[in-house]
Structure 1
Amino acid sequence: MKRIAIYSRKSKETDKGESIMTQIKMCKDYFLRYDEESTFEVFEDEGFSGKNTDRPAFKRMMMLASHKKFDIVACYKVDRIARNIIDFMNTFDILRKNDVSLVSITEGFDPNTPVGMMMMTLIAGFAEMERMNIAQRIKDNMKSLAELGRWSGGTPPTGYKSIQLESGNKIITYLELLPEWKEKIKLSFETLANGHTIRQSANILNMPVKTVANIINNPTYCKSDELSANYLKTLGYEVYGELNGNGYIPYNRRPRTKNGKKEFNAKGMFVAVSKHEAIVDSDLWIAANEQIKQRGAEARPRISQNSFLAHLVKCSCGSGMYLEPGKTRKDGTRTYYFRCSRQRYDKTLCNTGWVNATYLEEDILESLNVWALDKSELESYVNKRPSGDITKNIKKIKKAIDKNNSDLHKLTEKLILLEGSAIDAVTNKMNEISRDNEKLNESLLLLERKNLTNDVDALNIEILQNKIKEIVSTWSELTIDDKQLLVKAVIKNIVWDGGKVFTIQPNL
C-alpha cells in the first residue's frame, strides 16, 4: 500500500488547462490501476501561480514529506510543482533525500518506469553539476580576492579595523592594526606558548575565552615568511602573495558542511599576504597553535570530582553555576555549593542564593528513580504536549478546507455562465474563500508540526526512560566520573530559581 500525496494547482488568471478536480481524479485513477489499496491525501492551491513555491498547501505538503509521511508526491504535470528550474530542482532534491518519489502522471515522470527512472537520474545529475559549478565559482572568486590580499568584509578580527584605499578607479578594503591592542594580543600568544590553557590566558588578559581562541588560530596575526607559509600548508591552506612580513588574510577558514556545521582543516582554505601589520613572529604563532593541538590530543581531565552535577546547573538569570567550596571542618571534610558565576565578578549582577550540592544531588537522584519506575511521571514532567485534541482540530480544519474547495469548484463552474457585474461578485466571493483557505492552511501547518513533534517526543521519552533505568539500577557501583557522563546523557541542564525550586530539562 502506497501513501500518495496529490498536489494540484490552478491559477484562475492564466491557467486554461485541466481543472483541479480533474487533475486529482486523473492522479487517483493512475495509481489505483496498479494498487487498489493506495491511500491519498490531496493538497490544493487554487488561484496560485507557479512562479515560486510560496503556496500554503504546497508548504504543508513539503513539511509532511520531510517527515516521511508519504511514499509518493504525484501531480498532473511537473509545472504544477514549479515553473522555474531552481524551485523544481530544490523540491526534487528535498523529496529525494527523504525517499519520496515524484510522479507526473501525464509526462512519464515515474521512477517505477524505465523512462521515469532515466529522467530522475538526469535531473539529479544536472542538480549535482549545478551545485559543483556554484562551488567552483565561489572558489574562483575567493582565489581572485586572495591574490589581492583584500579584506572581503564582515567583522574585522580583534585588534584590527577595516580601511578603504583607492586603487585606480576602485575602492579596495584592507585591515589596519589598532595600536592599543598590539601588546595584549602578543601576550595572548606568549601565555599559550608558555603552557597556559586558553581559559588561563583569557583570565590573565581579562578577555572572553572565545575571543582568545579565535585570535590564536587566526593567521591574520602571523607574519608572513617561509616558516609560517609551510606550516599553514600543513593545515590545508593554499598560500598566495609575496612573503614580506605583513600579515595574512584568510579566506574560507571555516567552511560549512552540508548540514551547516563549521569544519576545521577543511579543503578549499586560502591565505594571502596583505598590507596590514602582523603582530607576532611566525615561530611564536606556531608554538601557540602547537600547544593547543597537543592539549587537544591529550585526555581531558574530568570536570569535577566534587559533584556529578558539575556544569549542569544553571541560574535562573541564565548564567552557569559553579562549585564553591565551604569551610573545611575539623575532620577535613567540606560542603560544596552551586553559586551563580555572575556573582564571582560582581555580586550586584545576580542575587540568587547558593544551593547545597549534596541536597541538590539527592533531589535529582530521587527524580531519576521516580522516572525510572513510572513512565507517566516522566511524560507529565516533560509536558510538551499542547492542550486540546490536535488530531480532532486537524480533521476539523481539513473539513473546512474541503468545503471551501468544493465551493470554489462550484463557483468556477458558474463563471462560465455569467456575464457583466455578476462575474465580479462571484470573483470577489472566490477571492474571499481563497484568503480563508490560506489562513486555514497556515493553521493546519502549525498543528501538523506539533503533531509530528509529539510523535518524536513519545519515541524519545521511551528511549530516555530506558537510559534512566540503566543508570539508577547500577548507581551504587558507578564512579564519580561515570555518574557525570551518564547523568549528562539524560539531563540537558538544571535551572535553579534561587529559592527551593529547580527545573530539570531532560535530554530528549
Structure 2
Amino acid sequence: MRIAIYSRKSKFTGKGESIGNQVEMCRDYIATNYNGEEHSIQVFEDEGFSGKNLDRPQFKKMMEIENVIPFDLIVVYRLDRISRNVGDFASLIEKLNKKNTSFVCVKEHFDTGNSMGRAMMNIAAVFAQLERETIAERIKDNMYLLAKEGHWLGGTTPLGYKSIEVTNGKRTHFELIIDESQIDLVNIIFSKYKQLGSINGVETYLFVNGYKTQKNNYWHKSNVKRILTNPIYCIADIDSLNYFTELGCNVCFTLDDCNGKKGIYPYNRFSGQKREMQSYDRWIITISEHQGILTGKEWVAIQQQLKANSKDGFGGKANERRSTSNTSLLSGVLFCSCGAYMRPKKYPSGNTFYICENKMDKKITECNNSNINADELDKIILNELFSFDIKDGVVDSQIQNLKEQIANIDNDLQKQIGRLKKQIETNKNTVNKFMNIVALSIENDTPEQVVEVYNQKINELLNQNKITQKRIDELQDTNIVQAKMNDKLNSLTDAMVYLKENFDKLTIVEKRGFVKKIVDRIVWDGNNINIFIKGISELSE
C-alpha cells in the first residue's frame, strides 16, 4: 500500500503531540491495523504552521502527489492537524473520495474505509455544500448591492460607450458614457435591423460598406447579434420594466427610478470562461447612470423580431422562411450589396431574375443595384462549387486559406502550451529543492527569518503554477475549438463532394440545403459576385 502520514504543529514545544510523536503514533496505527502487508510510507511534516487554512508547503506537496498518483491511505493523528476549518476539511474528504483514497484519523477513530467513517464523510460533505450555498448567497447579495448602484464592473466596454472613473468622497467606481466616435455605428446596426429584419442582412451591409469591429475584423452574425440583444442599449422605462419582469429576471428598479434617458445595466447574464448564457431567473437588471440608445418599446420590438426569426429569444438559428422558391437554388443565401436579401421573380417571358427585396417593397427606399438572371447565376455558383478541388479556384483558395490559418493557430497553441508546461516543471523542481533546504534548515536550527524567505519563494512559485495551469486550460479549450473547426472543414468538403456526385438525383430543396451547408452568403453588387464559404468569417471574428 502507498500510505502518506501527515503531521502539523504550530510551533515546536517539545511536549506531547510533537511532530515526531504524531508520526510515531501514526506508524503504530498502521502496523497494528495493516499488519502483514508491505507498505510504502511517505511522511509530510509542517512545523510552525497554523491550522486555520490549508496553505502549508508539505501539505500542498502531499496533495500535489495525490493529484498525480493517488495514495491508498492518508493517516493523521488528529483531525485538526489537517485543518480547523470545517469547509476545508469537507472539501479535502470530497477530493480524496474521488481518488478512492481512504482517510484515517488515529485519535478520533475516523476511517473512511468503514461505514462509520463514510457516515462522517457524508456529514462533512453536507457542511461543504452548506458553505458553498452560503458563499453563493453572499455573492448574490453583493451583486444585488452593486446592481442597485448601477456601476460598470469592467470587462470589454460595449461598442458606443467608454468607461470613466468617478470618485464620490473616498469611494471610486466606473461609469459608462457615450463614445461619440462609435455611437453612430451602433445606431446604424439597430436602424438596419429594423429596416431589413435580418442579422445576415445587417452583416452584409456592414461588410459592403467597409465597417469593421473594434478589433478591426469583419463583422460576423454573432457580433451583430450581441449588439442587438445587449440590454445596455435599452432605456429604462415602463416597456423595458414590464419586459424583463415578464421574463422572470431579478429587476432592481421601479418606474419611479426612470427618467426616460438612463439605460439598463444587466448583471450575471453569463457564467464561466465559455460565457454561457444563464437562465433569465439568474439575470439581475438594474438602472444605470449611462444614457440608453433605444426606448424600451423599440428595443423590445427588436427582441420580438429576433425571436420570430430564430428558435429562441436573444438570437438562435435562423429559420428557413426566406427559402420559399421551388426553382431557385440560392434563395436564403444571396444578398444585395445594400444588405437586403435578393429574391427570385419570374417574368412573363419565362426568365427568372434575382431582385433586391428593397426594390420589391415599395415601403422601403428603392435600391439602385441591378437584377441578375437566376439561371445564369445558379450555374456560375455551381461551377465554382464543383471546382472546389481545382487549385487556386475561388472556393479552393478560401479553403486553403482557412486550412493554413487553422494550422498556424494550432501550431502556435502547441508551442505556447509546451512552454507553459516546461515552466511548471521548472517551478516544481525549484519548489522541491527549496522544500529540502527548509527541512534541513529546521533540523539545523537556522533562523526563522531565513526559513520564512524560502517559504515565501515556495508559495510564490506554487501561485505562479496555478496561474500558468489556468492559462494552459484556457489554451487547451481553444485547442478543442480548433479541432472542431477542422471537423467542420472536413464536413464542408464532404458536402461539396456529395453535391457534385449526386446533383442530378437531388430535389431543389435538397440541393438548396447542401448549398447552405457550404456557402455562408453570396453578395451581388451589380458587377461582381462574392462567394463566402462557411467557416471563413467565423475564423476572423
Bucket of the pairwise TM-score, normalised by the shorter protein: 0.5 to 0.7
| Change in CA separation of 1:28 and 1:476 when aligned onto 2, cut-off 3 Å | farther
> 1:245 aligned to 2:245?
no
Q: Residue 298 of structure 1: CA displacement?
A: 4.2
Residue equivalent to 2:391: 335
> 1:63 aligned to 2:68?
no
Q: Residue 154 of structure 1: CA displacement?
A: 1.8
| Change in CA separation of 1:101 and 1:133 when aligned onto 2, cut-off 3 Å | same
Does the CA-based 8 Å contact 2:5-2:23 persist in structure 1?
yes
Listed one character per residue, the Cα deviations across residues 328-365 of structure 1 (whole Å, up to 9, x for unaligned) are: 99x978533799xxxxxxxxxxxxxx98967998xx9x
Looking at structure 1, the residues matched to 286 and 166 of structure 2 have their Cα atoms a distance apart, in angstroms, of 18
Listed one character per residue, the Cα deviations across residues 412-451 of structure 1 (whole Å, up to 9, x for unaligned) are: 5xxxxxxxxxxxxx413999899999999989x99xx99x
> 1:219 aligned to 2:231?
yes
Does the CA-based 8 Å contact 2:46-2:58 persist in structure 1?
no
Residue equivalent to 1:157: 158
Q: Of 231, 244, 263, which aligns to 2:243? A: 231
Residue equivalent to 1:428: 446
> 1:265 aligned to 2:279?
yes
| Change in CA separation of 1:151 and 1:359 when aligned onto 2, cut-off 3 Å | closer
Does the CA-based 8 Å contact 2:166-2:172 persist in structure 1?
yes
Residue equivalent to 1:493: none
| Change in CA separation of 1:34 and 1:268 when aligned onto 2, cut-off 3 Å | same
Q: Residue 42 of structure 1: CA displacement?
A: 1.6
Match for 1:269: what amino acid? W
Residue equivalent to 2:199: 196
Looking at structure 2, the residues matched to 133 and 149 of structure 1 have their Cα atoms a distance apart, in angstroms, of 23
| Change in CA separation of 1:246 and 1:407 when aligned onto 2, cut-off 3 Å | closer
Listed one character per residue, the Cα deviations across residues 272-316 of structure 1 (whole Å, up to 9, x for unaligned) are: 23343211233443454456554523489xxxxxxxxxxxxxxxx
Secondary structure at the aligned position of 1:276 is classed as strand
Looking at structure 2, the residues matched to 356 and 174 of structure 1 have their Cα atoms a distance apart, in angstroms, of 43
Q: Residue 135 of structure 1: CA displacement?
A: 1.7
> 1:26 aligned to 2:25?
yes
Looking at structure 2, the residues matched to 41 and 201 of structure 1 have their Cα atoms a distance apart, in angstroms, of 70
Looking at structure 2, the residues matched to 26 and 337 of structure 1 have their Cα atoms a distance apart, in angstroms, of 78
Q: Residue 105 of structure 1: CA displacement?
A: 1.8
Looking at structure 2, the residues matched to 172 and 404 of structure 1 have their Cα atoms a distance apart, in angstroms, of 46
Looking at structure 1, the residues matched to 394 and 260 of structure 2 have their Cα atoms a distance apart, in angstroms, of 49
Does the CA-based 8 Å contact 1:4-1:72 persist in structure 2?
yes
> 1:256 aligned to 2:256?
no
Residue equivalent to 1:9: 8
Q: Residue 4 of structure 1: CA displacement?
A: 3.2
TM-score (norm 2): 0.53
TM-score (norm 1): 0.56
> 1:134 aligned to 2:135?
yes
Residue equivalent to 2:106: 105
Does the CA-based 8 Å contact 1:43-1:58 persist in structure 2?
no
Listed one character per residue, the Cα deviations across residues 95-153 of structure 1 (whole Å, up to 9, x for unaligned) are: 3454544332222232234553443333322222222222222222333343x452143
Listed one character per residue, the Cα deviations across residues 140-182 of structure 1 (whole Å, up to 9, x for unaligned) are: 2333343x45214325433234567798998776543334443
| Change in CA separation of 1:430 and 1:267 when aligned onto 2, cut-off 3 Å | same
Residue equivalent to 1:277: 291
Match for 1:335: what amino acid? K
Match for 2:392: what amino acid? Y
Percent of residue pairs identical:
29
| Change in CA separation of 1:282 and 1:116 when aligned onto 2, cut-off 3 Å | same
Looking at structure 2, the residues matched to 291 and 247 of structure 1 have their Cα atoms a distance apart, in angstroms, of 24
Looking at structure 1, the residues matched to 206 and 72 of structure 2 have their Cα atoms a distance apart, in angstroms, of 54
| Change in CA separation of 1:407 and 1:170 when aligned onto 2, cut-off 3 Å | closer
| Change in CA separation of 1:145 and 1:43 when aligned onto 2, cut-off 3 Å | same
Looking at structure 2, the residues matched to 46 and 174 of structure 1 have their Cα atoms a distance apart, in angstroms, of 48
Match for 1:264: what amino acid? Q
Does the CA-based 8 Å contact 1:219-1:247 persist in structure 2?
no
Q: Of 291, 304, 317, which aligns to 1:297? A: 317
Q: Residue 69 of structure 1: CA displacement?
A: 1.7
Does the CA-based 8 Å contact 2:103-2:113 persist in structure 1?
no
Secondary structure at the aligned position of 2:74 is classed as strand
Number of equivalenced pairs = 383
Match for 1:62: what amino acid? M
| Change in CA separation of 1:356 and 1:61 when aligned onto 2, cut-off 3 Å | same
Match for 2:239: what amino acid? L
